[in-house]
């Protein structure tokens, strides 16, 4: 079997294009960017959110990184044996840019982030090897790249409730910098039960997938 985080093929860019659109992610990204007063050049949306653009961006300067997109488990896409985050695919895939930011490529990044939010499905899953543990895939890759904390998901997440979870978590931390990310996430979950959207959004399927892992970083 191959070792974890070893890229061995080019992903199917046509299959990536056929994935359903996620229109709520634009609202999610812009809300969080406004809350954090992010610079316009640090917000990559649509075609600008390519693998090439992400790799060229000065990610090491960022304290909070948000990826709002599709998350794929290992083997979900023909041409990839490891988990990855879907970015805007190029016309033709190459080893440098095929529209799938895999765990091996994430591990090669140089980060200095207090938090990476993986607002995508199944980002807390394993790296795909037999008997591998949960969190050994994308979450471990970001922690290995230098992130202090990661918010990831254990299963497929619904789009609109996810916007509420991530934006409320950021707002809670902004309002009280003394709380860690786990407590901020907990506050967002409680808001889903008590405040947002009534009984439907209160169901754990809408918020229970999220987990915060890593160090307590309050810079």
Calculate mean pLDDT across residues 25-30. 97
| DSSP codes joined into one string, 115-157 | EEEEESTTTTS--SSTTPPTTTTHHHHHHHHT-SEEEEESS--
pTM: 0.92
pLDDT, tens digit, for every residue of 88-112?
999 999 999 999 999 999 999 999 9
Rounded Cα distance between 87 and 47, Å, is: 9
Reported confidence tier of residue 219, pLDDT bands at 50, 70, 90: low
Beta strands 64-68 and 71-72 are unpaired
């Amino acid at each position: 079997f191959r070792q974890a985080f070893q890229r061995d093929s080019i992903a199917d860019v046509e299959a990536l294009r056929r994935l359903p659109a996620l229109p709520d992610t634009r609202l999610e990204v812009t809300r969080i960017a406004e809350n954090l007063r992010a610079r316009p050049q640090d917000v990559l949306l649509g075609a600008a959110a390519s693998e090439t653009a992400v790799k060229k961006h000065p990610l090491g300067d960022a304290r909070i990184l948000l990826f709002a997109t599709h998350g794929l488990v290992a083997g979900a896409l023909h041409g990839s044996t490891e988990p990855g985050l879907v970015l805007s695919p190029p016309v033709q895939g190459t080893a440098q840019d095929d529209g799938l930011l895999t765990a091996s490529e994430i591990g090669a990044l140089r980060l200095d982030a207090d938090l990476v939010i993986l607002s995508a499905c199944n980002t807390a899953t394993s790296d795909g090897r037999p008997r591998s543990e949960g969190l050994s895939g994308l979450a471990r890759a970001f922690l290995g790249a230098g992130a202090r904390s990661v918010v990831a998901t254990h299963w497929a997440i619904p789009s609109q409730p996810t916007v509420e979870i991530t934006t409320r978590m950021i707002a809670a931390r902004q309002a009280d910098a003394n709380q860690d990310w786990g407590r901020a996430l907990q506050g967002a979950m409680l808001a889903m039960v008590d405040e947002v959207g009534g009984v439907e959004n209160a169901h754990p399927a809408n918020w229970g997938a999220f987990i915060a892992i890593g160090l307590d970083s309050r810079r």
